[in-house]
Amino acid sequence: MRVSAEITAFSDRLGHRFGRSDLLVRALTHASIGSRTRPDNQRLEFLGDRVLGLVMAEALLAADRQAAEGQLAPRFNALVRRETLAEVARRLDLGTVLRMGRSEMLTGGRRKEALLADAMEAVIAAVYLDAGLEAARGVILRHWRGLIDSVDVDARDAKTTLQELVQARGEPPPVYAELAREGPPHAPLFTIKVQLADGTEAQAQAGSKRQGEQEAARMLLERLEGGA
């Protein structure tokens, strides 16, 4: 199967030359343009999630042979969550080679976190089916190595950490509020505030409510830890 120069360039960035290029094309095909003759990447996404999970679990065990399950689990979650997958996809410029329907494209599909994360999982599965687990492991570790090395000892997400902190103090849970939404529908910018019962608060801006809440919680945690 002949593929475009853009997909070949993506394969080079990924670090895997496919024997079955149809697998990579399928991994890059969103459901909005998929059909019976052009299968989309949803089934590959399902498989890639499991392959990534296995490799990450192995890597974390090897990286810290003394860590307990309670330490490993939050690190694992930080490395396989949607935000991390999308981050790796962006570094690979995966969005430029995604195949999708016109409506999805016009609403900013190439930049959507969910689409990038799903496609990244599908690409991992494509490598696995093309050349086996060792090849998939090599690709994953190549692009996740820095993340593995820098993952926090306690990598719980900021919202969870803040929630547990205020609960330990016997206080009500943090309250999140959307203060503003700006920009076009395909590229919104949310302003999110998080506030504690004593009035302490922090604000952040992000491209999604979820990211905004995480960033606001992270900023508030830094303020509390700094004693501000």
Domain 158-226, what architecture? 2-Layer Sandwich (3.30)
Higher pLDDT, 124 or 226: 124
The answer to whether residue 49 is catalytic is yes
Mention every residue, 6+ apart, whose C-beta is less than 8 A from residue 200.
220, 223, 224
Most confident of 139-143, 187-191, 218-222: 139-143
Mean pLDDT (the chain) is: 89
pLDDT at 120 over 60: yes
| Res 153: pLDDT | 46
As a whole-number percent, the residues of the chain with pLDDT over 90 amount to 59
Mean of the pLDDT values across residues 33-47? 87
Strands lying side by side in the sheet with 201-206: 175-182, 189-195, 201-206
pLDDT tens digits for 91-116? Answer: 999 999 999 888 888 888 788 888 99
| Res 189: pLDDT | 85
- CATH class of the domain defined by 5-150: mainly alpha
CA distance 31 to 117: 14
The answer to whether residue 178 is catalytic is no
Q: Tell me which residue of 42, 52, 62, 47 sits closest to 139, measured CA to CA.
A: 52
Q: pLDDT class for 209, splitting at 50, 70, 90?
A: confident
pTM beyond cutoff 0.75: no
Determine contact, residues 165/220, Cβ cutoff 8 Å. no
| Domain coordinates in residue numbering, the chain | 5-150, 158-226
pLDDT at 186 over 70: no
pLDDT at 167 over 70: yes
- Of the candidates 45, 121, 130, 213, the residue annotated as catalytic is 121
- Of the candidates 49, 104, 213, 215, the residue annotated as catalytic is 49
pLDDT tens digits for 52-70? Answer: 999 999 999 999 899 888 7
| Res 156: pLDDT | 61
